[in-house]
Amino acid sequence: MKIFQCGYCDHSLYFENYKCDNCGHLSGFRDIDRKMLTFNPSDDTLISDREHIQYKYCKNKEYDVCNWLIKKDSPHEYCRACQLNRTIPNLSDIENFERWQHLEIAKHRLIYQLQKIGLILISKEDNDAGFCFDFVAQQNNPNLMTGHANGVITVLLREADSVHREQMRKQFSESYRTLIGHLRHEVGHYFWERLVLSNTKILKAFRETFGNEEVDYGDALQHYYKEGAPENWQKSFISKYATSHPWEDWAETWAHYLHIMDMVETSFFFGLKVNPKGYESEMKANVSFDPYTIKDFNVIIDTCVPLTFAVNSINRAMGLPDVYPFVISPAVIEKLKFIHQLLLPKR
């Protein structure tokens, strides 16, 4: 994520800001070029401070879940991120409402990243080949699960409950479980169908890297939940769940690719350097590049490893879990490279 600034006073803004905390000017995100625009709070015309162009907010701003902007003359009421919503919860339920707010924050960050990669994002409401989000409460349907099917990404609202999420993390012996992680994983399944399945050459290369996805998925999951991950799984997989089936290996690796790219991009915009005293050069990193402009994934991973060690060490100093509690083996790097090379032409 890049750093944003107020267009009136140059004060720093977060991606989710609705106004500048310094001068009080309203703020909104323009996704077409990933810029934060600001507006005079005493003028309800919503004409931008620097470009003097009139906008309107996405309709979901009334719920404080979206600060994205739309051209004033656009026929759309919702921004490109919120147009991807097919189902939202009953907002009269305060608990549902709060959980939906958390999901929307994660979703907007996901869409920012997918747009920066250059992927075509089509709403399933407009085209059956597109995708959409169902943010739903489980209620009386115990079989309803977070997952992906034919472009529909379903996320149970309870995943936005930090207590429940921690319980699930422990139950499944996971080292990491977040809303952005869920969304990145599930959208990976959708893009596997769009980017891999539809191309015979790429599908062949996928099978050489991840394995044959034609292995029965249901049987594979049953075996995984019964037997668990194989010994020494860390040598070839980014997580235990990735061992269950090639589709899950892809989705887990895809999610981690997005984690890494976002981490390095954020570090670039903050000008971060890691230069530990008394250590060899492999522990040093100078994030002097935007990772989305880099063709050689080795450059990205060689920068990411010292970064993760540094931020994990800071968290441990504060008594907190590691930010990135994973070991990236050479085999996993090859899988990450596969995704990187697949997405390069999209930029």
Mean pLDDT of 321-346: 92
Give the integer Cα–Cα distance in Å for 311 and 316. Answer: 9
Amino acid 17 reads N
Domain-embedded: residue 272: yes
- Rounded to the nearest integer, the mean pLDDT of the chain is 91
Query: How many CA atoms within 13 Å lie on the side-chain side of 64?
Result: 7
* Same domain, residue pair 166 and 187: yes
Q: Of 198, 229, 253, at which residue does a domain stop?
A: 198
* Same domain, residue pair 277 and 338: yes
Q: Which helix (H) or strand (E) holds 332?
A: helix 330-343
Give the integer Cα–Cα distance in Å for 292 and 262. Answer: 9
Write out pLDDT tens, residues 8-44.
999 999 999 999 999 999 999 999 999 999 999 988 8
Ramachandran angles phi, psi of 176, nearest 5°: -155, 130
* Cβ atoms of residues 157 and 135 within 8 Å: yes
| Residue 3 or residue 170, greater confidence | 3
* Same domain, residue pair 69 and 166: no
Write out pLDDT tens, residues 125-152.
999 999 999 999 876 677 788 899 999 9
SS3 64: coil
Q: Of 31, 49, 77, at which residue does a domain stop?
A: 77
Strands (E), 14-54: 26-30, 35-39
Domain-embedded: residue 206: no
* Same domain, residue pair 257 and 339: yes
DSSP, res 71 = E
Whether 239 has a pLDDT exceeding 90, the answer reads yes
The total of structural domains in the chain comes to 3
- Sheet with 152-156, strands from edge to edge, namely 85-87, 132-136, 152-156, 147-149
Domain-embedded: residue 147: yes
* Same domain, residue pair 267 and 336: yes
* Cβ atoms of residues 13 and 4 within 8 Å: yes
**Residue among 31, 27, 34, 30 at smallest CA distance from 12:** 27
285's tokens: 């990193």
Q: What is the pTM (predicted TM-score) of this model?
A: 0.92
* Cβ atoms of residues 68 and 85 within 8 Å: no
* Same domain, residue pair 259 and 150: no
* Same domain, residue pair 89 and 184: yes
123's tokens: 């709403």
Q: Of 77, 109, 144, at which residue does a domain stop?
A: 77
Rg (CA), the chain: 21
- Which string of b and e fits 127-145 if b means at least 16 CB within 10 Å? eeebbbbbbbbeeeeeeee
Give the integer Cα–Cα distance in Å for 27 and 19. Answer: 5
Domain-embedded: residue 211: no
Domain-embedded: residue 230: no
26's tokens: 């309203």
Which residue range is the domain that position 42 belongs to?
A: 1-77
* Cβ atoms of residues 183 and 135 within 8 Å: no
* Same domain, residue pair 65 and 154: no
